[in-house]
Structure 1
């Protein structure tokens, strides 16, 4: 029993606890019980809340969504990749699909996800058998049920992250102290998916809607977020994945059953627009992640809270990734860890889609604190910006308290449209309307929106394109391509597009070789205006970057030449073993990461994923 008591105490003594309000994230002092027994921990709503906070804390930090899982695991797709040159044992190994089993960026996130599962398992075991859960006051019972639902949802999120990155991961749904073995082997992912989908159904009936627990904001699971997570996991369960037995990408014959779950869950959320809706201003979704809440529509349904200015509970978002800030600027160092695939810029409508300038770091901030256009091969992601925080060059911190978005209402609309189209062999009027809502927000101020196809194949292609534009840099695209079994074909398509861009052919015939720029004032205005006010020879970016221009390597007087297409070559974009796009990807092998070597050494019951050597 001593081990059991230690496990229960582990959560109560978890590092830091936070109270979450709609406007802030901060530490909450909590009382540590005199005994480590679960009889103490889970017979108090205060201590149980501390235990639940201990589970949430395993989502954040350098080895969670504060850095590695958020900014490394979800690249490369046809939106972004990590910057720099390939190394099998570092972050570029992940991005180029050539990670070795001793990759340093795999082991700690893997361990942290399982630590979160263990903490959740303890809560899930003890909360339902506590006296205040079964026979406490009505308020106590409702509170404990809510905590139980949150624990189930958190465990589901941890398992989902493990499965989509490693496949048939070991599963355990009881605390280690009660497990038949501490070293379980690989478990079929379908069984794990089925369990967490069932768990989320329980959880959504226990946890209230957002409006009933305002203090949670979007930093803790509420009913809408749980429903959205259940829809997302159901689509993954019904989608394609790399199967261990057959060593091929496939999906099960009963996949429509899971598409129906996703459709139903999304419809429930859509029927409750008072809880969650589209933020009318796309950019404000991401500014909200930086501290100032600009999301009264509550599009952000669940985000991972970052706080505390440390590697365990904060994030390096905006420091590692995001717009690049010169260290000598008034803002200090920030950004640059992710680069856009050069073709991504030209996927957006040339003049109408506001998402392009929010998503892509077209400019960088120079040593003089002004903005200057990047070369085409050096764009960054831009939804995370040090200048949107209160941190500046006076601070030496690498942690800016920027949150990571897990789920947005736009995703609910697009998941509904996708599921409806698949089930109905073509889109319903509501599916078309749902896709149209996302496009209308993106084309703010314009009435001539893209034409939405009404046939099944055409509508699916529209969904594929819309999700590329909507979720760039949010770690969504890679996993979409995998579950659609499009990752190999889209990579091939991207290489063709890259070569056309390099050659200036096809859709890229008028893309210039060079652009000519001056540094200009960084106004911190909305992104579309910020990009439009860059000082380029020949006019505004929406003209200059789509016109051949002077085609001279000599800049006009007063301007500096910047390589545009000339910054690209077949070698640095496609064929280089160091920087070539997804160079080491192999279909039916590299859709999953390798298990870390140290994990297999400790657990000899596990089997390495196909295509990797232990």
Structure 2
């Protein structure tokens, strides 16, 4: 007998929210369930839209992409890690691949994702049953179908996030009131992936392109974003993952089928004129902070934040991002994520503009000036309190900064990757897709872009490197490495590079032990200019940070400069072997590619089985 503990009247109306203004990106909070019935909710376009906004709401807040999912679950990789010392029960345990099942940062995001699925399931059931959907005016039918497509896309996003973190998660594609049980067992992820890939195909036929509904902006799903999400999920389905039956990283024998889906979806987006590359890399991220500087619509889908509260806003720029001293005019901000020390040297030293946007080379001091960080203390920098309207007069920890889910550059690079894999080497279109991303990065220096490999393995390696440089700090790299089955080998490679950097050998032979710095004005100029104007003894950063220098532990007498440890800030212990800070120290291949299920979830649902190794 079906369990009817949860009935529609209560659950449906828990998704009620105020209607979104077409010109506004923000979503409102929902706490109190309404008492309206599903028949009322889904029989007008306005109340259906309201219910749908309630589904979007499950993306944001401290337990969504406003904090934990965005800034904790996607690290560590060879770009960033969490700052601080290891504990299995908090965020550092996640970052060092040593999280326990009672980790306090796991249960609420896990629950919120399933809350989003339940809200989406209700919309997916009742929207097609409404009279407007079946017999309304053509305009009403089109609008209701659009809402149906958005709900399908949202459910797919929630499931994708669950699967890439936990693997064979329980699934339910009907509302709880219709389910045979409220406590489903783990489900085969391939079956779940196949369902949401098919759902996204349907959704893409129901939702218009961005250019047809400009009022949606990048804050709601449009056709391009749905197709892009389908491509991303198809690559995950066709990629490697840690299998529950074998406890090995494996991919299915028909993986090329999914690469073809990804290729086709990306090509459809590339052939449409709704999305393109923003010519200025930095402006993508400034747009997330409120200043809309993305006329090309590179931001295809972003999670909207507002309200200065833990439920509807984000802590982006407060928890992570450039570090601001509490005594500065900007007030406290940033510092929760640190760059892997080698990441700075992965970029071209003087021509790739992405480095200074991605990496917090400097911090803001108590006097509101900037000074270079030590090499082990770089932060992520795509999120900055100084790009918001908040300053030291505000005590808020939420700055209304959005999270980027999907960008057009990802479409280009996914296409290039899929084309290369299917064709046993890159086509001219794939090479151009890669070059387009590189040319934006090397603006002003296009002739210095490395020669593009034309073999399958060489081109794949170029894609692996390019995605490292393009998406640093956007919670993409870790999951790329997993689906490529490269995470263990890249971790080994990174430890070798770290040791070379510590020793000053190999590619790091000219990296200085010390640099000498003064505070200088923080001008809020473009990042490349801002970093170039750091006051360092010996010249510009692109000279000083790539030259041995004086190699003295004291600054030149009478110069007014302060010594900053550079390579000397790094030791084998604090970078590699320390049980508190060692790079991905607790990672074990074929075991730690997935997170542990929260103990609370296992206690409540005894049909679930814990992931291997926990």
Question: Shorter-chain-normalised TM-score: which range?
Answer: over 0.9
2:312 aligns with 313
In structure 1, C-alpha distance between the alignment counterparts of 2:20 and 2:337, rounded to whole Å: 30
Offset, 1:591: 0.1
Residue equivalent to 1:386 = 385
In the TM superposition, what whole-angstrom CA distance separates every residue of 1:419-476 from its partner, at most 9, and x where no partner exists?
0000000000000000000000000101221111000000000000000000000000
| Aligned residue in 1 for 2:10 | 6
CA distance in 1, matches of 2:163, 2:326: 39
1:442 maps to 2:446 = no
1:185 and 2:185 aligned: yes
Q: Is the 8 A contact 1:33 1:41 kept in 2?
A: no
- Report the Cα offset of residue 35 of structure 1: 5.8
User: Could you give the per-residue CA deviations for residues 258-307 of structure 1, whole angstroms, max 9, x where no partner exists?
Assistant: 000000000000001x2000000000000000001000000000000001
Structure 1 residue 19 displacement after superposition: 2.6
Distance of 2:191 and 2:116 partners within structure 1: 20
> CA–CA distance in 1 between the matches of 2:47 and 2:314?
26
**Separation of aligned partners in 1, 2:465 and 2:226:** 26
Shift of 1:213: 1.2
* CA contact 1:242–1:249 (8 Å) conserved in 2: yes
Question: Is the contact made by 1:33 and 1:40 (CA closer than 8 Å) also made in structure 2?
Answer: no
Distance in 2 (CA, whole Å) between partners of 1:212 and 1:196 is 25
- The aligned runs of 1:545-564 (5 Å cut-off) are 545-556=545-556, 557-564=559-566
Q: Is the 8 A contact 2:73 2:94 kept in 1?
A: yes
Match of 2:14, SS state, is helix
Which residue number in structure 1 is paired with residue 43 of structure 2? Answer: 43
Correspondence for 1:88: 88
Q: Residue 28 of structure 2 contacts residue 57 of structure 2 at CA under 8 Å; is this kept in 1?
A: no
Cα deviations by residue, 1:462-498 (Å, 9 ceiling, x for unpaired): 0000000000000000000000000000000000000
**8 Å Cα contact 2:27-2:304 kept in structure 1:** no
**Aligned equivalents of 2:129 and 2:490: distance in 1?**
50
> Within 2, Cα distance between the matches of 1:135 and 1:579?
62
Q: Distance in 2 between matches of 1:214 and 1:544?
A: 47
* Separation of aligned partners in 2, 1:494 and 1:580: 12
Q: Supply the distance in 2 between the matched residues of 1:105 and 1:34 (Cα, whole angstroms).
A: 30
Contact 1:259 1:423 in 2 (8 A): yes
1:46-85 matches, within 5 Å, as 46-85=46-85
Q: Does 1:212 align with 2:208?
A: no
CA RMSD between the two structures: 1.4
Q: Distance in 1 between matches of 2:7 and 2:201?
A: 31
Indicate yes or no: 2:298 matched with 1:304.
no
Q: In structure 1, how many angstroms separate the alpha carbons of the residues matched to 2:476 and 2:451?
A: 24
Q: Decide whether aligned partners of structure 1 residues 544 and 8 sit closer, same or farther in structure 2, where only a CA change above 3 A counts.
A: same
Q: 1:28 to 1:562 in 2, by over 3 A?
A: closer
Contact 2:19 2:46 in 1 (8 A): no
**Aligned positions of 1:468-487 closer than 5 A:** 468-487=468-487
For residues 89-128 of structure 1, the aligned pairs below 5 Å read 89-128=89-128
Does 1:601 find its partner at 2:609? Answer: no
How far apart are residue 7 of structure 1 and its match?
Answer: 1.9
SS at match of 1:561: strand
Aligned to 1:357: 356
Question: Residue 17 of structure 1: CA displacement?
Answer: 4.9
How many angstroms apart in 1 are the aligned matches of 2:525 and 2:443? Answer: 16
> Which residue is 2:423 aligned to?
424
Aligned equivalents of 1:228, 1:44: Cα separation in 2? 30
**CA–CA distance in structure 2, aligned partners of residues 326 and 559 of structure 1:** 20
Shift, 1:27, TM fit: 5.8
Distance change (3 Å), C-alpha of 1:390 and 1:104: same
How far apart are the structure 2 equivalents of 1:354 and 1:29?
38
Partner residue of 2:131? 131
Matching residue of 1:368: 367
Deviation, 1:212, is: 1.3
Alignment correspondent of 1:403:
402
**Equivalent-residue separation in structure 2 for 1:426 and 1:567 (angstroms):** 42
Matched-pair contact (CA < 8 Å) for 2:15–2:33: no
Cross-structure match for 1:573: 575
Structure 1 stretch 33-42 or stretch 506-515: which is displaced more? Answer: 33-42
What does residue 584 of structure 2 align with?
582
Give the superposition deviation at 1:607. Answer: 0.3
Q: Secondary structure at the match of 1:372?
A: strand
Q: Note the alpha carbon deviations across 1:45-88, whole angstroms, 9 max, x for none.
A: 00000000000000000000000000000000000000000000
Q: 1: distance between equivalents of 2:20 and 2:69? A: 22
Give SS of 2:448's match: coil
Shift of 1:353: 0.2
Return the offset for 1:25: 3.0
State the 1:4 CA deviation.
Answer: 1.8
1:498 corresponds in structure 2 to 498
Verify the 8 A CA contact 2:83 2:337 in the aligned structure 1: yes
Residues 127-180 of structure 1: per-residue CA shift (max 9 Å, x gap) = 001110000011110000000000000000000000000000000000000100
Paired with 1:523 and 1:75, the residues of 2 have a C-alpha distance of 31
Tell whether the 8 Å contact from 1:17 to 1:29 is kept in structure 2 after alignment.
no
Name 1:543's counterpart in structure 2.
Answer: 543
Report what 1:522 is aligned to. Answer: 522
Closer, same or farther: CA 212–33 of 1 in aligned 2, 3 Å:
farther
Structure 1 Cα separation of the partners of residues 274 and 321 of structure 2? 30
In the superposition, relative to structure 1, how do residues 397 and 534 fare at CA in structure 2: closer, same or farther (>3 Å)?
Answer: same
Measured after TM superposition, the shift of residue 214 of structure 1 is 1.3
- 8 Å Cα contact 1:517/1:536 also seen in 2: yes
Structure 2 residue aligned with 1:347: 346
Distance 1:301 1:543 in 2: 37
Whether the 8 Å CA contact 2:235–2:258 is kept in 1: the answer is: yes
Using the TM superposition, give the Cα deviation of residue 37 of structure 1 relative to its aligned residue in structure 2, in angstroms: 1.4
**Counterpart residue number, 1:18:** 20
Kept in 1: contact 2:66–2:315 (CA 8 A): yes
Gaps spanning 5+ residues in structure 2: where?
none
* Conserved? CA contact 1:64–1:109, under 8 Å: yes
SS in structure 2 of the partner of residue 302 of structure 1: strand
The CA deviation at 1:29 is: 11
Is residue 324 of structure 2 the alignment partner of residue 325 of structure 1? Answer: yes
